Amino acid sequence: MTAELKNRLTALAEEIVKYGKKYIVLHYVGANSDTAGKTVKWWHTVSLGWKKAGYHQFMNWDGTIEEIEPTNTVVNGMSAGWGRNREWTENAFQLCFETVNKDLRLHPEQAEAILFLIKEVLKRNPNVLIGGHREFPDLSWRGYRGRQNTSCPGFSVSDWLVANGVKRENCFYFAYNGGAR
């Protein structure tokens, strides 16, 4: 990872903490194609008609990062399907990563950059919870608490984080489910 990218991610970690984000939610572009943050923003705001894009930042396959919406705004990454879950929607920093491989998985450069960002945030606020979009249950769907409405980002972020040295108590799935699994 370049020094420039480390500096950018460190500054982003400071923003996340400055704006009081309690959660970091990871999403992916569930398509096997090269894209860009501006394309994602166009899709959400023009094609879907949302007032804001779904994510704050977009991470390309090489780990570089693009701002889609300012960190201090509320975005639609989870509120599109979870409108009644204001706590998670309003207090989350939402990061989407690109997938340009047949398995729709993180590239090593992305994994390194995301882990660096998360660890920088946790240095500044050890109470932040991190999880994948699919790990946050849908609390608004006809009263069926715990229903998942997505497979995004295609893997258990909480398991991945623990396997990479992040404490279980910072992983949304484990914290929300009382340490289960």
- pLDDT per residue rounded down to tens, the chain (181 residues): 899 999 999 999 999 999 999 999 998 886 666 678 888 888 888 988 888 888 999 998 888 899 999 999 988 777 644 455 677 778 999 999 887 666 667 889 999 999 999 999 999 999 999 999 888 876 655 545 555 567 778 788 999 999 999 999 999 988 887 765 5
Encode pLDDT of 116-159 as tens digits: 999 999 999 999 999 998 888 766 555 455 555 677 787 889 99
User: Model pTM?
Assistant: 0.88
77 neighbors 96 (Cβ within 8 angstroms): yes
Residue 175: φ, ψ to 5°: -65, -45
126 neighbors 169 (Cβ within 8 angstroms): no
Site of tokens 């398991």 = 159
Structure tokens at 180: 């289960």
User: Of 162, 150, 144, 19, whose CA–CA distance to 78 is shortest?
Assistant: 150
Report angle CA 32, 33, 37 to the nearest 5 degrees.
Answer: 120
Which fold would CATH assign to domain 3-176?
Answer: Lysozyme-like (3.40.80)
Please provide the average confidence, as pLDDT, over all residues in the chain: 84
Q: What kind and span of H or E run contains 89?
A: helix 86-90
DSSP letter at 91 equals T
Q: What does the domain layout of the chain look like in residue ranges?
A: 3-176
Structure tokens at 28: 């992916």
